[in-house]
């Protein structure tokens, strides 16, 4: 195999599961934690890692209720970046965004 396809100099970077601590998938808090992980991954340019860790894609319709909660919280705290990411997630999910909230 060509050296171009190996990563012998890898620094032992953590696996996505470790970058995105999540409860067990059967935990009722999992959807909210997964939604937070997907938004965090998008924020740092690691959507693929967050998707691998959570088992959901960015814009997964199953997570819309959790993302709406995150959006509401982001707006109340004035976290513009998180608000932007949550709105993008909802648009991708086809859920629309309530701009008046």
> Are the CB atoms for 40 and 20 separated by under 8 Å?
yes
Q: How many angstroms separate the CA atoms of 56 and 1, rounded?
A: 32
**SS3 of 13, please?**
coil
- 2-13 burial string, b = 16+ CB within 10 Å, else e? eeeeeeeeeeee
3-state helix, strand, coil in the chain (%, to 5): 60, 0, 40
Average pLDDT in the 3-12 region?
A: 47
Q: What is the pLDDT of residues 27-58, one digit of tens each?
A: 999 999 999 999 999 999 999 999 999 999 99
- 0.75 cut: is pTM over it? yes
């Amino acid at each position: 195999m060509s050296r171009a396809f190996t990563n012998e100099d890898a620094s032992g970077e953590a696996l996505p599961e470790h970058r995105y601590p999540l409860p067990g998938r059967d935990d009722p808090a999992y959807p909210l934690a997964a939604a937070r992980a997907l938004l965090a991954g998008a924020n740092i340019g690691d959507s693929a890692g967050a998707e691998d860790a959570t088992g959901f894609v960015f814009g997964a319709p199953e997570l819309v209720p959790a993302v709406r909660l995150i959006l509401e919280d982001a707006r109340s705290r004035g976290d513009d970046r998180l608000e932007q990411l949550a709105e993008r997630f909802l648009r991708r999910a086809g859920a629309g965004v309530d701009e008046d909230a």
